[in-house]
């Protein structure tokens, strides 16, 4: 009787021992997986974040949806730094590219393909407004028109030129005055007012630079023309 009880005790002890060993191995394995998981967690998302964070087209703060063109633009700074226009990661106009000048700076872009058609600038302080009018009249329907001021863009601007720019979707062009800053993206043949417009008046009280208002900046996504 005592013997049978001893064997039973031994068997119970042995199973507890084996169970403990088994559980210990299980735990080690779990730990191993956790460590591997942590390793991956540490490396993969960081790598992803740096490539994702690296930048979006034109250095936008967020990416544009499909079938949209990314753009970012800035007006000139006083009479010193020229305006800058970027579309789909291409700088279309800038002081560095040496294709900007005092007055109205304009880039024409194909609304379907996003390809640059041409750039030009029109001196509205000492130039002839008719060159700007002829330029605007010749723009074909469906063209995206990106405009930025540099220094003074308004002195020579007359009603005819303002009407043509208003027809591109501008709301503020009729108020544009001496040394005001203004940036705008419109479209030839557009039926509505454009949401892409920023305007700041030259005001001696609030000017950032002596004689000039502060620089304007704007970024966004232009829907691609589908028709």
Ligand X SMILES: *[C@@H]1O[C@H](CO)[C@@H](O)[C@H](O)[C@H]1NC(C)=O
Residue 110 CA to residue 130 CA, distance in Å, equals: 24
Residue 220 CA to residue 61 CA, distance in Å, equals: 9
Q: Looking only at residues 125 through 144 of this chain, which bind ligand X when binding is defined by CB under 6 A?
A: none
* 86 lines the binding site for ligand X (CB under 6 A): yes
Judged by CB under 6 A, the stretch of 83-91, 105-113, 159-167, 179-187 that binds ligand X is 83-91
Q: Looking only at residues 37 through 56 of this chain, which bind ligand X when binding is defined by CB under 6 A?
A: 55
* 217 lines the binding site for ligand X (CB under 6 A): no
* 64 lines the binding site for ligand X (CB under 6 A): no
3-state secondary structure 66-124: CCEEEEEEECCECCCECCEEEECCEEEECCCCCCCCCEEEEEEEECCCCCEEEEEEECC
Number of residues that bind ligand X (CB under 6 A): 6
Judged by CB under 6 A, the stretch of 85-93, 122-130, 137-145, 187-195 that binds ligand X is 85-93
* 88 lines the binding site for ligand X (CB under 6 A): no
Q: Which is nearer to ligand X, 87 or 168 (CB)?
A: 87
Angle at the Cα of 139 from the Cα atoms of 107 and 59, rounded to 5 degrees = 25
* 92 lines the binding site for ligand X (CB under 6 A): no
Q: Which residue has the tokens 């996504």?
A: 221
Q: Which is nearer to ligand X, 57 or 225 (CB)?
A: 57
Element holding 27 (H helix, E strand): helix 2-54
Residues in contact with ligand X by CB under 6 A are 55, 58-59, 86, 89, 91
């Amino acid at each position: 009787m005592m013997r049978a009880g001893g064997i039973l005790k031994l068997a119970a002890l042995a199973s507890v021992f084996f169970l403990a060993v088994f559980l210990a191995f299980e735990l080690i394995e779990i730990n191993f997986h956790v460590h591997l998981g942590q390793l991956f967690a540490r490396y993969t998302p960081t790598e992803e974040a740096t490539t994702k964070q690296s930048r979006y087209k034109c250095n936008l703060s967020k990416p544009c949806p499909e079938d949209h063109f990314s753009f970012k633009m800035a007006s000139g700074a006083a009479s010193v730094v020229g305006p800058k226009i970027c579309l789909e990661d291409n700088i279309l106009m800038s002081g560095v590219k040496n294709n900007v000048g005092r007055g109205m700076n304009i880039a024409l872009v194909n609304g379907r393909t996003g390809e640059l058609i041409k750039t030009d600038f029109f001196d509205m302080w000492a130039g002839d407004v008719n060159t700007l009018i002829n330029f605007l009249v010749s723009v074909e329907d469906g063209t995206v028109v990106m405009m930025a001021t540099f220094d003074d863009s308004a002195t020579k601007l007359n009603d005819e030129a303002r009407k043509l720019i208003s027809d591109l979707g501008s709301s503020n062009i009729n108020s544009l005055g001496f040394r005001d800053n203004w940036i705008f993206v419109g479209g030839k043949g557009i039926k509505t007012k454009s949401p892409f417009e920023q305007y700041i008046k030259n005001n001696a009280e609030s000017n950032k630079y002596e004689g000039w208002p502060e620089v304007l900046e704007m970024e966004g996504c232009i829907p691609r023309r589908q028709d």
